[in-house]
Structure 1
């Protein structure tokens, strides 16, 4: 049978999960999306879709498309296989952002991006299991509450400014505040409070039976070098790994400070990743 590309249907769920589970560390984000949202039926208009490359009927690569190109995430598969999917999607998809294994993201950008992206960052994917953790804890780290949102917004804003070089509260304050509130309501944001001030935050970006990926870890500049990030990363890692096999987090290759914190807590660097924002 020839190589084919098609939008995945709910009947492909087991095949997609099996493909992603071959490399769970580098596919945690997609495994979380699959567990949370499933696979949309192709005949129904949905806000997201999965597309797969089949070789003799066997699924060999997949790409998640959310928000009509607002977020495109490739599986940790051979980049040439990802490129085949991208070539098929190119006629009807406008890429706005993508993240994943560097080679696969580069293949997507070649096919789906016209001109130079607004931002392109190289990252390392760090991962950890319970056996790797060091003795770093802070039991006062807690789930954020709705009443924390006014104090939480500046931290969320600061993270986006540093990583994405944009100001979400200036661009679309109502939408961004609603997104921060939604994460709080979903019990995905943890904070550290000292003297009535929030001095640290971290989010659970995705979660599945295979593990979770942390994101949005941020300490205000005035409260850095006080050990908050090390102790809180250790705390949330120990908490989550009591019920999950592994955790991961992406760290900008220029951010040696966060990389040192991750290594100190027990995380190990994996393959190179790339984050691309087109507009």
Structure 2
């Protein structure tokens, strides 16, 4: 009986360079997966499935709590969707460039079920220009969080997560979520303003690779909103990230968050594409 070779396989450490080369076709789009690849392909944090044509890697699909496509086309998405149908119970979201995510979701929806939310239009923003060069005021209070401040950062992070996603990041013990917050802080990837023992502003680098830093978890204490404080604080975050971490800073924002979009525009971030997120 003739057996045909499947075009997909789970990638390992030996595939690292080829996978990163594929991500580098569009670094700002693919920085999330590129960062996970750089962290290691041991399978403990997630699984990377590759799609090959004539022995060459042409598309990827990251599988963990977040399912993320990389450089997929219609034909590869169909094959990868067939592979991904069994992942429904583990996934919390499907995210990435809108054309890839929405088409992949169309192929998965019948087996994955009704989503909690479909955020089909999320402007993907980027900048390579320090806000100070644009004359934007910087909040000099912004600095990297310290490891001993993990318990100060945790309430702000949990508040941001709940407001953004619609449910709390943990129920009962905060141990696992605290470990995630501590990991970001230990890597120098969390920026804060702390006043009188309280975090009043925070922002994180969620992923950094290929000359890009993807920002996430931007939060300002609700009582301080509408006063322009977030603009100066985020401007300082960009200033530090561009000087110390990567020459390009990116993030994506919900299209309905007009206040945030105006703020990002003021500090020099411009739309380079559109992302989509399916919350499961």
Q: TM-score range by the shorter chain?
A: 0.7 to 0.9
- Per-residue CA deviation, residues 242-275 of structure 1 (Å, 9 max, x unaligned), is 2422111111111111111111111111222112
Kindly report which structure 2 residues correspond to 1:250-261, keeping only aligned pairs within 5 A, or say none: 250-261=252-263
**Aligned Cα root-mean-square deviation (Å):** 2.4
Q: Secondary structure at the match of 2:253?
A: strand
Q: How many residues align?
A: 270
Which residue number corresponds to residue 64 of structure 1? 62
Kindly report which structure 2 residues correspond to 1:192-231, keeping only aligned pairs within 5 A, or say none: 192-231=193-232
Q: TM-score, normalised by structure 2?
A: 0.86
- Per-residue CA deviation, residues 174-195 of structure 1 (Å, 9 max, x unaligned), is 3223322332223221101234
Q: TM-score, normalised by structure 1?
A: 0.87
Contact in 2 for aligned 1:62/1:82 (Cα 8 Å): no
Higher mean alpha-carbon deviation, 139-148 vs 209-218, is at 139-148
Task: Please report how far the alpha carbon of residue 76 of structure 1 lies from its aligned counterpart in structure 2 after TM superposition.
Answer: 4.0
Which residue number corresponds to residue 77 of structure 2? 82
Q: Which structure 2 segments of 5+ residues have no match?
A: none
Distance 2:201 2:119 in 1: 23
Contact in 1 for aligned 2:118/2:277 (Cα 8 Å): yes
Q: Which structure 1 segments of 5+ residues have no match?
A: none
Which residue number corresponds to residue 51 of structure 2? 53
Distance 1:124 1:172 in 2: 35
Task: Please report how far the alpha carbon of residue 125 of structure 1 lies from its aligned counterpart in structure 2 after TM superposition.
Answer: 1.2
Distance 2:88 2:118 in 1: 19
Which residue number corresponds to residue 95 of structure 2? 99
Kindly report which structure 2 residues correspond to 1:13-162, keeping only aligned pairs within 5 A, or say none: 13-37=16-40, 39-40=41-42, 46-66=44-64, 70-91=65-86, 94=89, 95-113=91-109, 114-122=112-120, 123-130=122-129, 134-136=134-136, 137-162=138-163
